[in-house]
Structures are given as structure tokens and as C-alpha cells.
Amino acid sequence: MKLAILYGTETGNAEMLAEDLTAELEGANEVDCHNLADFAPADFAPDTFYLLICSTYGDGELPASAQPFAEVMEAEKPDLSAIHFAIFGMGDSEYDETFNHGPKRLAELMAAHGANQIGDRIAHDASGADMAEDLAFPWAEAVIEMAQDTVGEAA
């Protein structure tokens, strides 16, 4: 099973976490890391497990680097029913009404095109006490374990 980390970022915090997670995982796994702004939905592959990292920006919107991806998804409507992903969200509970709405939107966008989510959507809070990587590393380990038997089955 290959791994691909896709990140949507606005301030660079999600990008930094994606790079850290790539470094953490690449010893034991084949792993690529892409900005969602540079990733074409046509490139989703069934033998790859996608780890999405996404922040929230403005009034609960997708971060800037995820917006072109969302536009292409909506225009091309790819069939992602053989695709598996997990998603890690970053937000700031200071803005509680829209807390982690960016990753929620991204997860819904993936699901709307048939993609299969593995594990729960985890939310890091920038106003909380935890470091993002302290939540993200165990999350990645857990979802990779959960995905072992499923990803690529249909391929």
C-alpha cells in the first residue's frame, strides 16, 4: 500500500504538518506529499491510501490551496468509489462557530464523489494545548493500520 499525503493550507501550518508527517512515515512506507493546489483529481489511484491534512480559513472556508482542487472536483466529478482516504483537520476554536469547517467540507467533497473515509475526522485546535504532530502521528499510525486490509482490494 502506497501512501500519499495531500494538504490544503492557508498560513503554511498544514503544509508544515504534512512535511513532518511525510518525514515520520517515509522510513517504513512509500509516501508522497503534495499540495492540493498541485494535485489533479484524475491522479487518484486505488492502490494508494490518501492522508488529507486540511485547515480552515476565513468564515469556515477551505484554505486557499484546497480551493482550486475543490473547483476541479466539482467540474470533473471524478468517480472515487475505489479511493480510500483519512482526514486530519486543523482549526482554531477561538472561532467556534466555524471550527474545523474546512476539513469537514473537504471530507464531504470526497464522500460526495464516492471516496471511502477510513477512521474519524480528527480536529487539531490551534488554541488548545496539543501540538498538531502529537495528534497527527498517532492518528496516521492508527488509520494506516485500519487501511491495510481494504486499500487496493478493489483494484
Partner 1 sequence: MSGQVAIVGAGPSGCYLAQALLKAQPDLIVDLIDRLPVPYGLVRYGVAADHQGTKGVTRQFARLFERQGARFFGNVAVGEAITLDALRAAYDVVVLAAGLSVDRPLGIPGSDLPGVIGAGRLTRSLYEHPDADALPDLGPRPLIIGNGNVAIDLLRLLAKTPEELEGSDLGAGPTKWLERQAIEEITITGRSPAAQAKFDAVMIKELAKLAGVTIRVIGAGASDDPAEQKKIDALLALDGIATGPRRVTFRFGLTPLGVEGADRAEAVHFTSPAGEETLPCSSVLTAIGFDPAADLPRDALVSLAADAEAGVLAPGLYAAGWFRRGPRGTIPDNRADAQALAGAILTDLAPDPSRQGAAVLAALPDVTDYTGWTRIDSAETATARPGRCRSKIATRDAMLSIARKDHGDAP
Q: What is the DSSP string of 21-67?
A: HHHHHTTTS-EEEEEGGG--GGG--TTEEEEEEE--BTTTBPPGGGH
Site for partner 1 contains 37 (CB under 8 A): no
Site for partner 1 contains 95 (CB under 8 A): yes
- Side-chain-side CA neighbours of residue 83 (13 Å): 22
**Closer residue to partner 1, CB minimum distance, 48 or 65:** 65
Site for partner 1 contains 58 (CB under 8 A): yes
Coil, strand or helix at 153: coil
Site for partner 1 contains 35 (CB under 8 A): no
Among the candidate windows 72-80, 87-95, 105-113, 146-154, which touches partner 1 by CB under 8 A? Answer: 87-95
Residues at the interface with partner 1 (CB under 8 A): 10-13, 16, 57-60, 64, 92-98, 125-127
